[in-house]
Amino acid sequence: MYPVIDLGDQPAELPEQLGNKEKYWFRLDDRRYLLKIGRPGTGENWAEKIAAELADLLGLPHAIYDFALWRGRKGVWTPSIEPEDARLILGNELLAAIHAGYPRREVRRVREHTLGRIHALLARPEITAPPGWAPPGKGIANAFDVFVGYLLLDAWIANQDRHHENWGLISHQDRIYLAATFDHAASMGQNETDANRRDRLTTKDQGRHISSYVTKARSAIYDHKNSKKPLLNLELFEQAARKAPTAAHAWLTQLQQVREDDCQHLFDQLPPEEASPLACEFAMTLLSLNRKRLLTTEL
């Protein structure tokens, strides 16, 4: 079973202002950690933990999350993804520096947050993959190639929160590189009630069934700035794959090698109070369906 880190009553260094969740920074043993408090009635904590473990199965560079308890409140605990003397530059700041009038202070429904703009930025030769990280397959060379893997993860887990503050670059000493993937709590149907999960797993209404449910997950990235809605997760991966086909095939190979037993093992280690058996069954079914959709897509 996954451990739970008990932080007791120790004081936080300062609150984190970004995002709409309650977050606090701590410093232990000369390292910074972020505590994210899961909102009551959601599965944000288990989804964040499981998504990170799934990213690990794919070989992606990712933030590490552990369950934590602070002053009687549940959350997840993660070491900072940036070195002590580095700076994390989020997507909104990066794109605003390039595109005049970019709405950097908005978070949701930012139509200017397009795949084309992200590709143009991350394909720059001076921006590299994370240092010290070894690509799991041939053909994954630059930052955008790695980002394609992030988009595959999003499509697999039905993550709907890849907005422009949920990816970024790290500037450290004389180099700039893609940050590890982070913030995946809005995934795997974690916010559904068990009643809805049971209905979607068993209903004969094909429009409501989980097989239809998984096709509706949308990213927070648009095709172009005049698009009415962001791209569906699978659409986004397919479009990114056309820009980096070799990398896309390498990430699909990684996904193909992940066994259902590997995923089930992750859910089996969840504390029973974190996720109900129905939440785990729903998430496992979602992962299986999305894996099949990804592996049968035509690139």
Instruction: Give the single-character DSSP code of 54.
Output: H
* Shared domain check, 102 and 72: no
* DSSP 8-state symbol, 53: H
Please check whether residue 75 is in contact with residue 35, taking contact to mean a CB–CB distance below 8 angstroms: yes
What is the pLDDT at residue 84? 87
Q: What is the DSSP code (8-state) at residue 182?
A: -
First to last CA, the chain: 39
Give the model's pLDDT for residue 16: 67
Pair (90, 61) in one structural domain: no
CATH number of the CATH domain containing 60: 3.30.200.120
Same domain, 25 and 135: no
DSSP category for residue 174: T
Domain that includes residue 37, residue range:
4-79
Say if residue 96 is in the same domain as residue 199. Answer: yes
Supply 178's token pair: 């893609």
What per-residue confidence (pLDDT) applies to 13?
82
Closest CA to 294 of 248, 263, 260: 248
Claim to verify: residue 155 and residue 287 sit in the same structural domain = yes
- Kindly state whether residues 108 and 144 are assigned to the same domain: yes
Using one digit for the tens of pLDDT, what is the confidence trace for 156-210? 999 999 999 999 999 999 999 999 999 999 999 999 999 999 999 999 999 999 9
Looking at the structure, tell me whether residues 56 and 98 fall in a common domain: no
| pLDDT score of 18 | 60
How far, in Å, CA of 260 to CA of 298, rounded?
23
β partners of residue 8: 70
* Measured CA angle at 37 (ends 287, 196), to 5 deg: 40
Res 183: pLDDT: 96
| Closest-CA residue to 139 (of 252, 296, 291, 259) | 252
Q: How far apart are CA 221 and CA 167, in angstroms?
A: 11
* Predicted pLDDT of residue 250: 97
Q: Count the neighbouring beta carbons within 10 Å of the beta carbon of residue 11.
A: 7
For residue 203, the model assigns a pLDDT of 98
d(CA 291, CA 106): 32
Question: Same domain, yes or no, for 27 and 169?
Answer: no
Within this chain, do residues 134 and 32 fall inside the same structural domain, yes or no?
no
Residues 72 and 125 reside in one and the same domain: no
Q: For the chain, how many structural domains are there in total?
A: 2
pLDDT at 108: 86
Please give the structure tokens belonging to residue 115: 């795949």
26-54 pLDDT tens trace: 998 888 999 999 998 899 999 999 999 99
Low-confidence ranges of the chain (pLDDT < 50): none
Last residue of a domain, one of 59, 79, 99: 79
CA distances for 266 relative to 35, 187, 235, 259, angstroms: 21, 15, 27, 12
Q: Among 56, 79, 102, which residue terminates a domain?
A: 79
Q: What is the per-residue pLDDT for 202?
A: 98
